[in-house]
Amino acid sequence: MPLLELKDVHARYGPIRALHGVSLTVDEGEVVALLGANGAGKTTTLRSISSMTRTSGDIVFDGRRIARRSPEYAARLGIAHVPEARGLFPELTVWENLRMGAIGPGRGAALEQEAKRVVGYFPWIERRRDQPAATLSGGEQQMLALGRALVSRPWLLMLDEPSLGLAPTVVRELFAIVHHLNEDEGLTVLVVEQNATIALDIASRAYVLEVGRVAVEGTSDELQRHEGVRKSYLGY
């Protein structure tokens, strides 16, 4: 049984239909990429999983139907959603942002341990712990958002365009860490990306969305060889 399954999910923003029946699965321990152009419905798919958008259709996570519940419900089940704008609290300090990843009851003790792990990945967090998150660079903000998601010990990590607006070296570093988390710790990841090249590098499978539908799906190898995907998204 897949960890996450979407069955014929529709979504709309007012009169505008954003998803026309998206079905996909994510197995435990996988990295799955969601590719597509602007407006294809990638972000809406993630927002549907977190109940941040009106939807119809079924969404099942770990055997539970989670569609049309609430973002906090999804979070409490272990889905860490790092939204496109990173979802940091600009006025809170770096450390306070990190602490927000572990606010559930009895999580205080886990925080120390998890935070240590995150600081292992991003050593600068220790040095800048008391400065407001708003003062970080874009790359640092993305890393802090990722670090905060890790502190919550997620079952499923959902990243929305982590590469957006970042320098290529930062993007490579970020994806290397996600890859490592998957390989060494078995973290399950659903990543939305416009940068198909780098996403397919770390993903085992991928879906390509076009105007609210799954147009192509397959393993990363298959998609890298796929004529249409290569021309439209990989640029060679």
Partner 1 sequence: MALPARAARFDVDVGPALRAVILGIGLLVSAVALLGLIGLVLTQTETGFTWAGYWQQVVSGLAQGAIFASLALALVLIYRATDVLNFAQGEMATFTTFIAWSLMNHMSYWPAFALTLVIAFVGGAAVERIIIRPVEDRPEIVVVIVTIGLLIALNGLSGWIWNPEVKAFDTPFSYGTTEIAGVVISYQDLGVLGVCLATVVLLWAFFRFTTLGLVMRAVANSQDASRLLGVRVGWMLALGWGLAAVLGAVAGMMAAPTLFLDPNLMLVVLIYSFAAAVLGGIDSPVGAVVGGLILGVLINILGTYVDFIGGELRLPAALVVLLIVLLIRPQGLFGHRVVRRV
Cβ 75 to partner 1 shortest distance, Å: 4
Q: Which is nearer to partner 1, 158 or 229 (CB)?
A: 158
3-state secondary structure of 34: strand
Q: Please report, for residues 77, 180, 184, the alpha-carbon distance to residue 50 in angstroms, rounded to integers and kept in the order given.
A: 11, 25, 26
Q: Which is nearer to partner 1, 91 or 221 (CB)?
A: 91
Residue 93 as a binder of partner 1 (CB under 8 A): the answer is yes
Binding test (CB under 8 A) with partner 1, winner from 24, 49, 88, 156: 88
Q: Which is nearer to partner 1, 89 or 221 (CB)?
A: 89
101: exposed, middle or buried (Cβ count in 10 Å: 0-12, 13-18, 19+)? buried
Among 84, 120, 117, which Cα is nearest to 101's? Answer: 117
Cβ 208 to partner 1 shortest distance, Å: 26
Binding test (CB under 8 A) with partner 1, winner from 60, 92, 164, 211: 92
Residue 60 as a binder of partner 1 (CB under 8 A): the answer is no
CA distance 113 to 188: 20
DSSP state of 209: E
- Asked if residue 9 lies in contact with residue 56, where contact means CB atoms within 8 angstroms, the answer is yes
Give the per-residue contact string, 121-140, with partner 1 (x = CB under 8 A; - = no).
---------x----------
Q: Please report, for residues 130, 138, 139, the alpha-carbon distance to residue 124 in angstroms, rounded to integers and kept in the order given.
A: 12, 14, 12
Residue 164 as a binder of partner 1 (CB under 8 A): the answer is no
Number of residues that bind partner 1 (CB under 8 A): 26
Residue 110 as a binder of partner 1 (CB under 8 A): the answer is no
Residue 112 as a binder of partner 1 (CB under 8 A): the answer is no
CA distance 105 to 161: 31
Footprint of partner 1 on 189-208 (CB under 8 A) = none
Contacts of 167 (CB under 8 A, 6+ apart): 139
- Asked if residue 137 lies in contact with residue 94, where contact means CB atoms within 8 angstroms, the answer is no
The residues that touch partner 1, with contacts defined as CB under 8 A, are 50, 52, 70-72, 75-76, 81, 83, 87-93, 96, 99-101, 103-104, 108, 130, 148, 152
